[in-house]
């Protein structure tokens, strides 16, 4: 078997197991209030980390500063103006594309 297929199968099985772990382990069990409180704060913590890593991250780790920053700044403006999600995403993409076109 080639390295390609081994990596497809191993990474696939590992990812499937990681994704299924929580829903299988916590089955029909309501976590204690404190754990529940922590889990309800997971979304803002991880979403904020995703914003940071997907705006500033390079493909091999570290920072890469590029047109994504302009895209996110424009998106922030659109969010402050309470524009719909579709508009926010489009504004970010168009801004980043224009910056790359010019830069």
Partner 1 sequence: MKRLTDAHPPGPGRRTYLDGVRAAAPIGVAALVFGVSFGVLARAAGMGRVAPVVMSATTFAGSAQFAVASILGAGGGLVTAIVAAVLLNLRYGPIGLSAATTFSGPWWRRALSAQLIVDESWAIAQQDDGRLDRHLLVGAGLLLLVCWTLGTAIGAFAGDLVADPEALGLDAAFPALFLALLWSQVRERSRLLAALGGAAIALALMPFTGPGVPIVAASLACLVGARKPS
Residue of 43, 65, 102, 103 interacting with partner 1 (CB under 8 A):
43
Q: Is there a contact between 31 and 39 (Cβ–Cβ < 8 Å)?
A: yes
81 binds partner 1 (CB under 8 A): no
Alpha-carbon distance of 69 to 87, in angstroms, equals 17
Alpha-carbon distance of 92 to 59, in angstroms, equals 20
Residue of 60, 65, 102, 103 interacting with partner 1 (CB under 8 A):
60
CA angle 91, 41, 50 (to 5 degrees): 35
Phi, psi of 93 (to 5 degrees): -65, -45
Ranges within 8-27 binding partner 1 (CB under 8 A) = 8, 10-12, 14-16, 18-27
Alpha-carbon distance of 52 to 43, in angstroms, equals 14
Residue of 81, 96, 102, 103 interacting with partner 1 (CB under 8 A):
96
61 binds partner 1 (CB under 8 A): yes
1 binds partner 1 (CB under 8 A): no
Size of the site for partner 1 (CB under 8 A): 79
Closest distance of CB 103 from partner 1, Å: 12
């Amino acid at each position: 078997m080639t390295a390609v297929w081994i990596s497809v199968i191993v990474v696939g099985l590992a990812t499937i197991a990681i994704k299924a772990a929580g829903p299988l382990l916590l089955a029909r069990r309501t976590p204690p209030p404190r754990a529940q409180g922590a889990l309800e704060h997971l979304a803002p913590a991880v979403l904020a980390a995703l914003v940071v890593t997907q705006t500033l991250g390079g493909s091999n780790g570290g920072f890469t500063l590029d047109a994504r920053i302009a895209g996110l700044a424009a998106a922030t403006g659109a969010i402050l103006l309470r524009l719909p999600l579709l508009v926010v995403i489009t504004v970010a993409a168009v801004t980043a594309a224009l910056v790359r076109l010019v830069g």
